[in-house]
């Protein structure tokens, strides 16, 4: 499967402009032969947690989801997008959704680890583990941004059979160790491909570092971006990913009963 990854600058709360940017990326990715496009965290609204919390009408979400489904259908490409969702109490969480090329929803995920005071004010954390669904011969899972910095989240996807973990993110400038070290380690220690789609430029006062990356199951870099807007591409092969587990079978040789005992003191 050819995966496309969108790195771009969103306009906070300019939904029409952001949806148009996703549409253009989907068009270009489909023309290049990609079967799936991954977009950054909260891109349709822009990354502006407090403004979303104060000014965005959540009743608009069904219409936004309908536009994104139509984008997938019109260009014949699968799509991963991120929006507020999964209400918990009075605040929504942050969600990611996988659509197939017909615009049908295949998988959703709610962000478990919120980052910083703005996110914790605007959103509620989810608690369900990442799910896995088959798409174009690959077992696909998703986590969101800060989630990937915790070993447990990607491991949870891997033990459920994931071949690839897709990560919409909004990583600020100055945290280069996340894509360059942590994400590649997650790929290697779980023998999965990991794709990490970031914003670039400045949104609502936050400077984003770009640096989106697609890592293979050996931790190697399949594609990486600079600091500007870019579409990345990488071929993900299910047989190659699954075959990578034979040499050093981390997943097969885990001893979770011991780990539980260790954590309990």
- List active site positions: 41, 111, 145
Query: Which ranges of the chain would DSSP assign to H, the alpha helix?
Result: 15-31, 49-55, 61-75, 116-122, 151-159, 177, 183-190, 238-243, 256-263
Strand, helix or coil at 106? strand
Residue 222 has phi, psi (to 5 degrees) of -90, -35
Q: CA 211 → CA 105, 196, 200, distances in Å?
A: 28, 9, 8
Pair 144, 82: CB distance under 8 Å: yes
Sign of CA dihedral 94, 100, 104, 107: negative
Closest CA to 157 of 196, 106, 192: 192
Cα–Cα dist 40/118, whole Å: 18
Distance (Å, rounded) from C-alpha 55 to C-alpha 37?
28
Q: Which helix (H) or strand (E) holds 6?
A: strand 2-7
| Cα 239 versus chain centre, distance | 22
Q: Cβ contacts of residue 33 below 8 Å, gap of 6+?
A: 2
């Amino acid at each position: 499967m050819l995966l496309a990854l969108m790195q771009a600058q969103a306009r906070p709360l300019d939904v029409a402009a952001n949806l148009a940017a996703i549409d253009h990326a989907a068009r270009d990715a489909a023309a290049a032969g990609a079967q799936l496009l991954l977009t950054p965290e909260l891109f349709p609204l822009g990354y502006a947690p407090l403004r979303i919390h104060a000014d965005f009408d959540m009743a608009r979400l069904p219409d936004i989801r309908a536009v994104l489904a139509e984008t997938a259908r019109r260009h014949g490409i699968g799509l991963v997008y991120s929006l507020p969702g999964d209400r918990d109490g009075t605040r929504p969480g942050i969600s990611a959704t996988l659509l197939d090329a017909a615009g049908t929803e295949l998988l959703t995920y709610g962000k478990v680890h919120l980052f910083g005071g703005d996110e914790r004010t605007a959103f509620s954390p989810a608690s369900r583990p990442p799910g896995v669904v088959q798409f174009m011969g690959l077992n696909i899972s998703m986590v969101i941004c800060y989630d990937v910095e915790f070993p447990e989240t990607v491991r949870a996807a891997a033990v459920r059979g994931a071949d690839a973990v897709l990560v919409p993110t909004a990583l600020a400038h100055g945290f280069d160790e996340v894509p360059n070290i942590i994400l590649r380690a997650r790929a290697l220690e779980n023998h999965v491909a990991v794709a990490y789609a970031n914003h670039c430029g400045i949104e609502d006062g936050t400077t984003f570092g770009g640096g989106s990356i697609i890592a293979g199951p050996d931790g190697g870099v399949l594609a990486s971006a600079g600091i500007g807007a870019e579409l990345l591409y990488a071929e993900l092969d299910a047989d190659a990913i699954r075959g990578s587990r034979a040499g050093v079978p981390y997943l097969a040789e885990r001893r979770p009963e011991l780990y539980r005992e260790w954590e309990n003191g």
